[in-house]
Amino acid sequence: MKIAILPGDGIGPEITKQAVDVLKALNVATELVEAPIGGAGYEKFGDPLPDSTLDLAIKSDAILLGAVGDWKFDALPRDKRPEQGLLRIRKGLNLFANLRPAILYPELVGASSLKSEIVSNLDIMIVRELTGDIYFGQPRGIHTNENGEREGINTMRYSESEIKRIAHVAFHIAMKRSKKLCSIDKANVLETTELWRQIMIDLSKEYPEVELTHMYVDNAAMQLIKNPKQFDVLVTGNIFGDILSDEASMLTGSIGMLPSASLDSNNKGMYEPSHGSAPDIAGKNIANPLATILSLAMMFRYTFNDEKNAKKIEAAVKKALSRGFRTADIYSAGDKKVSCSEMGEAVIASLN
Ligand code: NAD
């Protein structure tokens, strides 16, 4: 197995190192090759996704990514900004299916912003389409309109085939879980998502065991806070999924706990924490590495089809938490406050 390691920017290198150390401790035969992306790619090669990095990602079986972005790159032209590296690698590898589990570990129930009876035992999966929608739709840009004033344009668009392939992924995941799938759209206002809803309904006939429901995105945002346990698997487009998955992350105590997988149609995947590069805490060795370590577990599950090692990593994370180890973002009085690297060591010590 060849794994591309793309640490990226901000806390990326710190958290990626912890996941790589866990991987090495598992003693699985892997070839690890590191390359720059995001601001690191721009600084080294003048491009947030250097050709050599994309080439490595194409030739690898899986990719482990830290995070990209730093405020110091905000003044760069848009195509040179770190986030473009991420959008381009997702598009370049056709990683259209983004899986974001939001699981609340019982040990962290106090870290959630909601009351324990509302969130305890929460375990939901958000399936987000990742390579279409308003983030990629053309035309886009800022131009001067006929009245001589500046106008910004982005275009929400989805083709039938794009909707179908993400729908199949979501129905398959629902089949493996509780057979409940909620599709999130804004079909009352947006034609793009009216089509989305029609296709979801059409495809549901191929999955008669799955109970398909629909919800408007504004209501979903509310219901995730009011009664998140009503959901099991949610499927939605790129922009709604971006926002809802960040909202769901807060239910689990910290965005530092949320892993993600982005898969192509052959289950080749890029694995990364759901959070960003956290420039405010970068270089301080205080970031939570668990989302990245849990992303590694997802790599074993979805790309390597190795449930044993996936469960082993997840159990070690749970054990480290139950032993009281907490990084600053999930710390409460009475816990053992640890650094990013100490949390990595605690997970490795809990592997057996
Ligand atoms: P962010 O996720 O980086 O940070 C939001 C807040 O969460 C910050 O207070 C940060 O300190 C905290 N945080 C995030 N991850 C943490 C962790 N592992 N442990 C402890 N605390 C953590 O989002 P932002 O501040 O909006 O964006 C910062 C940069 O990251 C921007 O340049 C943005 O474009 C980029 N970004 C990248 C990705 C990605 O690489 N996938 C995703 C989102 C944002």
Q: What would the 3-class secondary structure string for 166-225 be? A: HHHHHHHHHHHCCCEEEEEECCCCCHHHHHHHHHHHHHHCCCCCCEEEEEEHHHHHHHHH
Q: Identify whether residues 71 and 146 lie together within a single domain.
A: no
pLDDT reading at 97 higher than 90: yes
Q: Measured between alpha carbons, how far is residue 212 from residues 175, 180, 270 in Å?
A: 11, 6, 28
Separation of CA 298 from chain center: 11
* Mean pLDDT on 173-179: 93
pLDDT reading at 308 higher than 90: yes
> Which amino acid is located at 8 in the chain?
G
Residues in the chain: 352
Q: Is 350 helix (H, G, I), strand (E, B) or coil?
A: coil
**Averaged pLDDT of the chain:** 95
Strand extents, DSSP E, the chain: 2-8, 31-34, 62-67, 97-103, 123-129, 141-144, 150-153, 180-185, 211-216, 233-236, 259-263, 269-273, 325-326, 336-337
Q: Identify whether residues 91 and 8 lie together within a single domain.
A: yes
Q: Which domain holds residue 330?
A: 1-96+264-352
How many independent structural domains does the chain possess?
2
pLDDT tens across 117-133, in order? 999 989 999 999 999 99
d(CA 277, ligand 1 centre) in Å: 5
Ligand 1 atom nearest 71 alpha carbon: 32
Q: Identify whether residues 81 and 9 lie together within a single domain.
A: yes
Q: Identify whether residues 216 and 288 lie together within a single domain.
A: no
Q: What is the pLDDT of residue 112?
A: 84
Whichever domain contains 237, its CATH number is 3.40.718.10
Task: Show which of 204, 230, 258 is a domain's final residue.
Answer: 258
Q: Identify whether residues 148 and 28 lie together within a single domain.
A: no
Which residues participate in catalysis according to the annotation? 135, 186, 218, 242, 246
Task: Show which of 226, 258, 290 is a domain's final residue.
Answer: 258
d(CA 282, ligand 1 centre) in Å: 10
Ligand 1 site residues, Cβ closer than 6 angstroms = 11, 15, 67-70, 83, 86, 255-256, 272, 275-281, 287-288, 291, 329
Task: Show which of 202, 224, 258 is a domain's final residue.
Answer: 258
Residue found by looking up tokens 């324990």 in the block: 116
Cis amide prior to 259 (ω within 30 degrees):
no
State whether the Cα torsion 188-193-199-204 is positive or negative: negative
State whether the Cα torsion 145-149-150-155 is positive or negative: negative
Q: What is the pLDDT of residue 2?
A: 96
Q: Identify whether residues 200 and 315 lie together within a single domain.
A: no
Q: Identify whether residues 319 and 222 lie together within a single domain.
A: no
Q: Identify whether residues 78 and 168 lie together within a single domain.
A: no
d(CA 278, ligand 1 centre) in Å: 4
d(CA 275, ligand 1 centre) in Å: 5
Q: Identify whether residues 124 and 241 lie together within a single domain.
A: yes
d(CA 51, CA 61): 18
- Asked if residue 209 lies in contact with residue 165, where contact means CB atoms within 8 angstroms, the answer is no
Q: Identify whether residues 42 and 158 lie together within a single domain.
A: no
pLDDT tens across 218-248, in order? 999 999 999 999 999 999 999 999 999 988 8
Q: Whose CA is nearest to atom 6 of ligand 1?
A: 278
pLDDT tens across 273-303, in order? 989 999 999 999 999 999 999 999 999 999 9
Residue found by looking up tokens 């090495």 in the block: 24
> Within 10 A of 190 (CB to CB), how many other CB atoms are there?
15
Q: Identify whether residues 53 and 106 lie together within a single domain.
A: no
d(CA 315, CA 321): 10
d(CA 125, CA 148): 46
Q: Identify whether residues 12 and 82 lie together within a single domain.
A: yes
Separation of CA 316 from chain center: 21
> Within 10 A of 172 (CB to CB), how many other CB atoms are there?
14
